[in-house]
């Protein structure tokens, strides 16, 4: 499918929308930090939803993929607003939110802001608060100094072809959206899928999410040899089984 464009006053968001059965919830995929809607999980879900007759939406945040703006100017709040605009203006009816890594944080923020639109939430290596807990708190004194002086820093263990800038604005603005310091009053069912070999989001982070959610309808599935991406065929099948269960298909 050729992406369409949602034109907003200050930005343009590329998206793909697949219509489905009007009496069933749809699926909204929320990608990760510096990812786009062409990834393995997003594409796999598109195929499965099409086969099942489920409406499906995927998109690129501003500064990502085919959407407008510069990645280095983006923040958690802006990307949450992008997801909210897609939910409000493109998606039809209640949705199952499927959030990968950063997308898991965005999904929780959406579920808090628009609970009437969210039937369920699936987090895949979900990373709420990652800017603080998995970046800032792990930065060396030298990295923190560079961030203060230059306005951005690259993660120390990133390979040369995957050097993603982490900006001071991202870290500072992210503190306005932290969730794991208090109870998270999400009311929709939550399903978390986490790899035990994830080097970016440790499995203990998933336990923190479970502990902080007020909702009792929460399940965590651990994959013993799973990495952060969880895009092996067997991982994708587990993901679809969780999504299909929430969809009741």
Is 101 a known active-site residue?
A: yes
With 0-12 / 13-18 / 19 or more C-beta atoms within 10 angstroms meaning exposed / middle / buried, residue 22 is: exposed
| Cα–Cα distance list, 88 to 110, 133, 153, 220, 227 (Å) | 11, 30, 34, 28, 33
Point out the catalytic residue in the list 129, 198, 205, 235: 198
| Cα–Cα distance list, 168 to 47, 74, 135, 149 (Å) | 38, 11, 11, 9
Is 228 a known active-site residue?
A: yes
Tokens of residue 76, six digits:
């958690």
Q: Are 30 and 83 in contact (CB under 8 A)?
A: yes
Is 100 a known active-site residue?
A: no
- What order do you get walking across the sheet with 56-59 strand by strand? 4-8, 11-18, 56-59, 26-30, 95-100, 118-124, 190-195, 218-223
Cβ-Cβ contacts under 8 Å for 178 (sequence gap 6 or more): 128, 129, 132
Only one residue has tokens 């603005």, namely: 173
Residues in the chain, total: 249
| Cα–Cα distance list, 46 to 188, 201, 236 (Å) | 23, 25, 12
Point out the catalytic residue in the list 46, 82, 101, 205: 101
Point out the catalytic residue in the list 67, 129, 228, 235: 228
Pairing type for strands 165-167 and 152-154 reads antiparallel
Q: Cite the active site residues.
A: 101, 198, 228
């Amino acid at each position: 499918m050729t992406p369409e464009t949602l034109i907003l006053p200050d930005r343009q968001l590329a998206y793909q929308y697949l219509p489905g059965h009007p009496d069933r919830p749809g699926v909204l995929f929320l990608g990760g930090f510096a990812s786009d809607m062409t990834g393995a999980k997003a594409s796999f879900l598109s195929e499965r939803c099409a086969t099942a007759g489920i409406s499906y939406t995927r998109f690129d945040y501003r500064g990502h993929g085919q959407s407008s703006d510069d990645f280095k100017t983006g923040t958690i709040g802006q990307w949450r607003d992008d997801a909210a605009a897609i939910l409000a203006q493109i998606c039809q009816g209640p949705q199952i939110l499927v959030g990968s890594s950063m997308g898991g944080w965005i999904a929780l923020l959406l579920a808090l802001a628009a609970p009437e639109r969210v039937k369920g939430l699936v987090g895949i290596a979900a990373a709420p608060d990652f800017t603080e807990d998995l970046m800032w708190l792990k930065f060396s004194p030298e990295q923190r100094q560079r961030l203060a002086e230059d306005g951005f820093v690259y993660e120390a263990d990133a390979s040369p072809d995957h050097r993603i800038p982490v900006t001071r604005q991202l870290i500072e603005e992210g503190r306005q959206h932290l969730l794991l310091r208090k109870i998270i009053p999400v009311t929709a069912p939550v399903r978390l899928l986490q790899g035990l070999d994830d080097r970016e989001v440790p499995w203990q982070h998933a336990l923190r999410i479970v502990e902080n959610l007020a909702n009792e309808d929460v399940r965590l599935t651990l994959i013993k040899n799973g990495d952060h991406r969880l895009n092996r065929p067997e991982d994708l099948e587990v993901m679809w089984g969780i999504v299909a269960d929430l969809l009741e298909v």
